[in-house]
């Protein structure tokens, strides 16, 4: 449900063309899945507009610069996803943007569509296909 704090899980089921089973955003035609690098998550500004309301679906250790490209296909667990957007927009009225420029969410997050359904478990690697 939207407006509810995220629930952290050891395993999720990702459905092709849908997103995460049971997720409030499941079924969207775009941005079915949101990934964020752990370093971007740790660095994001506490006083930024997005910090209290932006919750990615999957947090990974590191997003290699080479993977931050539109159209790249990635295997996570048994699921296959395709990157459709790199980063999220910053709001001009955001205090963090005004003080220090775009926050880590501007290039540390990825949006993807799900091509093949699968299971993703904590600790699995992200591989380019």
What domains can you pick out in the chain, each with its CATH number?
11-128 (2.40.33.20)
Q: Tokens in use for 51?
A: 């910090």
Helix (H, G, I), strand (E, B) or coil at 109: strand
pLDDT at position 114 = 96
Per-residue pLDDT of the chain (129 residues), as tens digits, is 455 667 788 999 999 999 999 887 788 888 899 888 777 777 765 556 566 667 788 888 866 655 667 889 999 999 999 999 888 777 777 777 767 766 777 777 889 999 999 999 999 888 888
**CB of 111 closer than 8 Å to CB of 53:** no
56 contacts: CB under 8 Å, gap ≥ 6:
34, 35, 36, 41, 109
Residues 6 or more apart in contact with residue 74 via CB below 8 angstroms: 67, 80, 81, 82, 83, 112, 126, 127, 128, 129
Query: Which stretches of the chain are DSSP H helices?
Result: 38-43, 95-100, 105-108
């Amino acid at each position: 449900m939207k407006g509810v704090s995220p629930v952290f899980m050891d395993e999720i089921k990702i459905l092709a063309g849908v997103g995460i089973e049971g997720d409030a955003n499941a079924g969207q035609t775009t941005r079915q899945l949101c990934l964020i690098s752990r370093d971007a998550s740790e660095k994001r500004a506490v006083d930024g507009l997005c910090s209290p309301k932006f919750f990615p679906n999957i947090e990974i250790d590191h997003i290699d610069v080479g993977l931050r490209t539109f159209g790249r296909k990635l295997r996570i667990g048994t699921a296959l996803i395709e990157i459709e957007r790199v980063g999220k927009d910053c709001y001009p009225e955001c205090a963090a943007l005004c003080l220090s420029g775009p926050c880590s969410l501007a290039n540390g997050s990825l949006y993807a569509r799900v091509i093949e359904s699968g299971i993703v478990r904590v600790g699995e690697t992200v591989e380019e296909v």
